[in-house]
Amino acid sequence: MRSHYSSEINPGFDGKTVVLAGWVHEIRDLGSLKFVLLRDRGGLIQITAKKGVTGEKVIEELSKISKESAVLVEGVVKSNPKAPKGIEVSPTSVKVIAVSQTPLPLDVTGKVEADLDTRLNNRFMDVRKPEVNALFRIRAKVQEAFREFFTGRGFVEINPPSIIAAASEGGTNLFAITYFEREAFLCQSPQLYKQMMMCTGLDKVFITTPVFRAEPHNTPRHLNEIYQMDIEKAFIKDEEGVIEELEGVVNHIMKKVTSECALELETLKRKLEVPKLPFKRVSYDEVLDILAGSDLKLKWGEDIPPDGEKILNEHFKHEPFFIKQWPTAIRAFYSRPLDSRPEVCSAFDLDYMGMEMASGAQRIHDHDQLVDALKKKGLDPDNFEFYLKAFRYGMPPHGGWSIGSERITQAITGVSNIRECVLYPRDRHRVEP
């Protein structure tokens, strides 16, 4: 129906006829002049109707139009230094495709603020805001860049199940479901399935998948349904064999967003710098010393709290960094202990922009060692038989990691609540819309 998006039209179109399709963002009626801001995926463009120039039928149609109605406008592009982007469209025909009722459930111009619950309850309208729309185009670009990077490196995309019979990472934070005559669970991680692929010949895989965590969080950084971007890679020497891909893909994502989402970043008033490779590495022990120097003293074996991540972000001058060599006792059972120091394992986190962005490890690949690790965590190996079986028949050394689409989108866009990075977030209080 349209000939162009608004972002494609520039002063070089002066005198050309275009057809635009979008929504009525703003209306200003000055009597002899009527201004309509039309909004589409490309942004905003001004439609200007003037008595004596614009046809009476078009002016009459514009007089009846309501905000947020979907319209089709045909007109001639005119240069006007006073108009947004120096151009406007003089309409020759206006057709209302779908009338919007009034009043609106929320304002999309930004003049009237709405709380987050109101926005999420009316997400179809909230996403019409240029800032929110821009955020989700950035999220799409993040996922596109992730797939592009690993496809280019010869990784194979796989699709693990979302219904599982046992916990992927231990613990009880699972959503139980009735699965015919038995109990099953929503998948909390694709971890076990991607590890099993490491002995199949599909020894470099990547995944984009939803996962479900039944953790009763109620914070701006946690959700109960998240969209993970995972990899697993076999025949590695140590965790550096997959850290290379993690810093590489983050660098690639940032390059792609900064180069291909300039309009979206401008809309969000965000300036980004692409982090330089390689990223810094620091041990867990060194992190404790850094935090102690800032009057945040943690016991060895404690996780790093959010205020600690903020301190580290300042310490490393807002550059991404890896925390390596974590205490074995606080990491997942499949994290491989160091041969020289078993109380420490080959796990790592990537911290960036003041938050934990990704987590991974070299995994245990020896069957008997894996059984012992399960027992030490208080888990019954019999419940993991389907998984352990793959480790009896030539499982090579391997490792991998996971990064959340929501976390990296939140960091890039700078929004304060991770729920803004999900179209329809799921948390302990929200299962609709």
- Structural domains of the chain, ranges and CATH numbers in brackets: 6-98 (2.40.50.140), 130-421 (3.30.930.10)
- Reported as a single tens digit per residue, the pLDDT across 319-378 is 999 999 999 999 999 999 999 999 999 999 999 999 999 999 999 999 999 999 999 999
Share of the chain above pLDDT 70, in %: 99
Query: Phi and psi at residue 270, in whole multiples of 5°?
Result: -115, 135
pLDDT of residue 85: 86
In which band, very low, low, confident or very high, does the pLDDT at 175 lie, cut at 50, 70 and 90? very high
What is the CA 58 to chain-centroid distance, rounded?
43
Q: Report whether pLDDT(269) > 60.
A: yes
The DSSP secondary-structure symbol of 430 reads: B
In which band, very low, low, confident or very high, does the pLDDT at 1 lie, cut at 50, 70 and 90? confident
User: Which among 300, 342, 325 has a CA at the least distance from the CA of 239?
Assistant: 325
pLDDT, mean of residues 285-295? 97
pLDDT of residue 225: 96
Q: Report whether pLDDT(380) > 80.
A: yes
Q: What b/e string do you get for 272-283 counting C-beta neighbours within 10 Å, with b at 16 or more?
A: beebeeebeebe
- The pTM of this model reads 0.93
The helix/strand/coil state of 96 is strand
User: Which among 23, 132, 2 has a CA at the least distance from the CA of 47?
Assistant: 23
CB 6 within 8 A of CB 43: yes
pLDDT, mean of residues 64-89? 94
Is there a cis peptide before residue 433, judged by omega within 30 degrees of 0?
yes
How far is Cα 210 from Cα 405, in angstroms, rounded to an integer?
10
How far is Cα 257 from Cα 271, in angstroms, rounded to an integer?
11
Higher pLDDT, 166 or 420: 420
pLDDT of residue 18: 98
Q: Report whether pLDDT(75) > 70.
A: yes
Q: Is 136 exposed, middle or buried (0-12, 13-18, 19+ CB in 10 A)?
A: middle
The helix/strand/coil state of 49 is strand
pLDDT of residue 397: 98
Higher pLDDT, 173 or 429: 429
Q: Report whether pLDDT(171) > 60.
A: no
Q: Report whether pLDDT(149) > 70.
A: yes
Q: What is the mean pLDDT of the chain?
A: 95
